[in-house]
């Protein structure tokens, strides 16, 4: 089963206007899934990760309902057919 990314509307411009993108193959980790996404839409890369390849501070990534920040980061396992959400961090005061 493909892995499906859901991306926020402000990033859709870098993905041909799409907010839902399925990647083929069977990525085992979030890093592998992101690499598959970037092969389809290279413009997303610099908006999601920094120059060191780490997730930007203002971006949260979820595999299902689990935030990768509280799991294994980019090494977080991705089950077949998983939904990965890229979400802007929300801060408030």
For residue 93, pLDDT beyond 60 = no
pLDDT tens-digit series, residues 57-79: 999 999 999 999 999 999 999 99
Q: Is domain 3-88 annotated with CATH 3.10.20.30?
A: yes
What does the alpha-carbon distance between residue 3 and residue 78 come to, in Å, rounded to a whole number?
Answer: 8
| Alpha carbon distance 12, 10 (integer Å) | 6
Q: Please indicate, yes or no, whether the overall pTM of this predicted structure exceeds 0.95.
A: no
Domain ranges within the chain, ordered by starting residue: 3-88
Mean pLDDT of all residues in 79-89: 94
């Amino acid at each position: 089963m493909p892995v499906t990314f859901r991306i926020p509307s402000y990033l859709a411009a870098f993905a041909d206007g799409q907010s839902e993108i399925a990647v083929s193959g069977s990525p085992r980790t979030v890093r592998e899934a992101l690499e598959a996404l970037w092969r389809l839409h290279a413009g997303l890369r610099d908006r999601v990760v920094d120059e060191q390849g780490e997730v930007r501070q203002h971006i949260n990534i979820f595999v299902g309902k689990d935030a990768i920040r509280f799991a294994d980061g980019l090494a977080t396992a991705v089950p077949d057919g998983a939904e990965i959400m890229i979400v802007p961090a929300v801060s408030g005061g």
